[in-house]
Amino acid sequence: MNLTVDRRASLMRPRTPHTLLATAAALAAAVVVPQPAAAAVPAPGPYYVQSATTGLNAADNGGAVEQHRPRGDEDRQQWQLKPSGSSYLLENTVAPGSCLGRSGDQAATVACASADAGWEIDPIGADRYTLKVPGTTRHLTVAPKPSGATYPARLALGGSGDLAAWYLTPVTPATRPMPPQGRRTLDQVTFLTTHNAYANGVDGGFAPPFVNLVPNQTRGIERQLADGVRGFMLDIHQTPDGAILCHNSCTLVSRPVALWVDLQRMVDFLKAHPDQFVTVFLEDYVDPAVLRAELARVNGLSDVLYRPDLTGVRQNGWPTMTELAAAGDRLLIFTDHSRSADQAAGLTRDSFGVMYQPEWTVENYWSMGSGLGTSDWSCYSRWYGADTNIPLTRTEPGFRPLFVMNHFRDVPLTGTAGTDNTKLADRAQRFCQPAARKKPNFLAVDHYDRGNPASAVTTLNAYTYP
């Protein structure tokens, strides 16, 4: 990552701009199982009105109701659900007397006593609802998406269909205690994860001179493993020596580390600790054949490599941690590379055990802002744009994607990261958890040794999200 202006912010090449058509195909091919029974209308209380299409929240913006990036209680996005005769009201929690309603064919805030404030709320499936104008066929809906653009911000009134499906996400959800050790599944567990884990200045060079003076971490991979880090974000670039861990490129980088070296450290750790599980996230700029050759250099990799694509996860959900340990499935490797590009090249990465991340996870946009000043805690999908829409709320029948929560800034200043890390649990629970309607599984931070982010992992591992 560019430590002054992160490369992934570039419009020319965001971290995963790769066309996700193959991802959509894979999702569409998921095995269909019977749908759960429809849920009743939720109990009165504060909720986010969240689009099932985009994952964005209905927010009051000066009287207009728009879909905004989830921002917890900071953006007039919370609505108090109240019964009103045979219909329901949604009163804004920071503007008593002002309700989510309509004006003509557009959503708007109106006086709660107005005839335009009431909604019929009907369940569709286990957790989605429609909001309909009483006695009509007009529904609260996301406006159709123009070609080459994202969905419009202003919410509208229209017909039924996918754009009229909504989650009513509790502001403070009821959680359950974490199951006993032997019964907790992979998607119920949260892991401490290091952003740019290789950029530590201990194991080797990672960036050109001067840039390498601002590392993302200050401890090597072996120490990270010993300290409880179980998720590792690694950037790989192609050189004549193979897949090499560098930031931006390997030009002028002194003593860079090869991917296989760090993977060998992880495999050796797993062999010595048979009850542990490790996940690797590759920001991947190498040809598939080069990556396959790199993995072939890792002794014992096949003994621990986890293949969810071969074990029925999409049909049956994630296994328990105990089942994974018993099967020896303890190292999961993701790539952000494009499946479609690999298919064109004639070799897909999952053919040798590297999973395409957008098919198995959701992930929030990575930056909380610059290295100094206030931070942006909004939590929305990094895969939302004119050509891509994988909302944080995505689920499939029988399968819940793992949730990667990024919590770091453009520039990894030690002091700022330490302060941000003290607030990790708060952001995870109040902002990102409701935004995704699932608990984060990977908490990715800079300078994991500052601000005690491990305490946030402990907090989240005390419960499961409904």
Residue carrying the six token digits 């996230």: 281
- Residue 392, number of CB atoms within 10 A of its CB: 30
8 A C-beta contact, residue 284 and residue 233: no
8 A C-beta contact, residue 258 and residue 242: yes
Residue 38 has a pLDDT of 54
289-309 pLDDT, tens digit per residue, is 999 999 999 999 999 999 999
pLDDT-based confidence at 12, cuts 50/70/90?
Answer: very low
Following DSSP, what letter does each residue of 153-199 receive, concatenated?
Answer: SBEEEE-SSGGG-EEEEESS---EEPPPGGG-BGGG--EEEETTTT-
Region 117-128: what's the mean pLDDT? 94
Query: How far apart are the C-alpha atoms of 214 and 218, rounded to whole Å?
Result: 10
pLDDT at 365 over 50: yes
pLDDT-based confidence at 29, cuts 50/70/90?
Answer: very low
Region 16-35: what's the mean pLDDT? 42
Closest CA to 222 of 180, 269, 190: 269
8 A C-beta contact, residue 188 and residue 464: yes
pLDDT-based confidence at 39, cuts 50/70/90?
Answer: low
75-99 pLDDT, tens digit per residue, is 999 999 999 999 999 999 999 999 9
Residue 28 has a pLDDT of 41
Residue 410 has a pLDDT of 96
Q: What is the chain's mean pLDDT, rounded?
A: 92
393-417 pLDDT, tens digit per residue, is 999 999 999 999 999 999 999 999 9
pLDDT-based confidence at 40, cuts 50/70/90?
Answer: confident
Q: Decide: residue 213, CB within 10 A, 0-12 exposed, 13-18 middle, 19+ buried.
A: exposed
Closest CA to 196 of 393, 388, 446: 446
CA dist list (Å): 430 to 128, 169, 170: 21, 12, 11
168-227 pLDDT, tens digit per residue, is 999 999 999 999 999 999 999 999 999 999 999 999 999 999 888 999 999 999 999 999
**Percent above pLDDT 90 for the chain:** 89
Region 255-264: what's the mean pLDDT? 98
Amino acid at 16: T
Query: How far apart are the C-alpha atoms of 306 and 230, rounded to whole Å?
Result: 14
Region 366-394: what's the mean pLDDT? 95
